[in-house]
Amino acid sequence: MIERIDTVCIKVMNVEESSKWYQNIMGFKETYKGEGYRILSIGNSAVPFTIEEADVMSTNNGTYPIFFSKDINETYRKLKDLGVNISELHNDGVNNFFDVYDLDNNKLQICYWK
């Protein structure tokens, strides 16, 4: 029935500005430009990240993507140095993680685990 996750999609106010932010700040690559949306690739992941323009932002329903970084301390430092809105770095005994907020205040999380 269901074979795989095709994409992860979030809503943004300005697809052009958001695409630049995800490319310049997060290191994603834009692979496709559609009317009102962009598809971005993330490292060697087979699952693309789609940003879709919306006139009205929906309220946060608690759903957010979690990205993996093999050097979470360096990733945290780089994003902090760039002035990105991020939480403190947390360790729950299993995972190291922190939250990142994009231009539209969408929550993303970056984690590392062994």
Tens-level pLDDT at each residue, the chain (114 residues): 767 888 999 999 999 999 999 999 999 999 999 999 999 999 999 999 999 998 766 655 678 999 999 999 999 999 999 999 999 999 999 999 999 999 999 999 999 998
Residue whose C-alpha is closest to residue 43's, from 114, 110, 90, 101: 110
Strand residues in 3-95 grouped as ranges (E): 8-12, 29-34, 37-41, 49-53, 66-68, 85-86, 90-91
What is the rounded CA–CA span in Å between residue 106 and residue 111? 17
Superfamily of domain 64-114: 2,3-Dihydroxybiphenyl 1,2-Dioxygenase, domain 1 (3.10.180.10)
Domain 1-55 has CATH 3.10.180.10: yes
What is the rounded CA–CA span in Å between residue 3 and residue 106? 27
Let me know if the fold of 1-55 is the same as that of 64-114. Answer: yes
Domain residue spans in the chain?
A: 1-55, 64-114
Determine the length of the chain: 114
* Confidence (pTM): 0.84
